[in-house]
Amino acid sequence: MGDFDVKIEGVEEFQEKLKTVEEKAPDRILDKLDEEGKKLRKQAMNNTKKGKTGNLRKGYKLLPVEKIKGGYQKGMTNTASHFHLVEKGHRKVSKSGKELGWTEGKFYLDRTVKEMEEPITEDLKDWLDELFQELK
């Protein structure tokens, strides 16, 4: 399975604001990260082709928010057993074991993370600035 995280690498000012917000309203951080995670999951589902059963598209699941050194992270994974094959590609092999070629990966989640990283980062920075001013 593939796990991807959107991380905000910030300067000291950003971490200082996050620390202030964390002390005064920690639940709001969790709520905002859940909200942004849902946006990412929805976009990943929209970018993934349905296929025969739709299990690949339906398999995106959000992981709980985790506190890490210097901040928080919200992860997402796909529970479909064949996700890694479709995402990264795989060998084509005959029944006799002869390699017939390579199937290129579709990189659905990879592309979604790259496309959503900047908007999510901007949303979080703006939200943090507003909340910091409110709680100051």
- pLDDT of res. 11: 57
pLDDT digits (tens, 9 = 90+) for 67-109: 888 788 999 999 999 999 999 999 999 999 999 999 999 999 9
Determine the average pLDDT of the residues in 3-7: 58
pLDDT tens per residue, range 17-49? 777 888 888 899 899 999 999 999 999 999 999
Residue 125 reports pLDDT greater than 60: yes
Residue 48 tokens, joined: 């993934």
- The domain tally of the chain equals 1
Give pLDDT, residue 63.
Answer: 96
Are 48 and 55 in contact by the 8 Å Cβ rule? The answer is no
Listed residue (100, 131, 118) closest to 20, CA to CA: 131
Backbone conformation region of residue 107, classed left if phi is above 0, alpha if psi is from -120 to 50, else beta: left
The C-alpha atoms of residue 56 and residue 88 are separated, in whole angstroms, by 14
Confidence of residue 9 (pLDDT cuts 50, 70, 90): low
Structural domain containing residue 83: 4-135
Q: How far apart are CA 91 and CA 82, in angstroms?
A: 13
Rounded-to-integer distance, Cα 133 and Cα 120, Å: 20
- Residue 51 to residues 22, 102, 103: CA-CA distances in angstroms? 42, 19, 16
Give the position of tokens 């949303």.
123
Distant-in-sequence, close-in-space partners of 33: CB < 8 Å, separation ≥ 6? 65, 72, 74
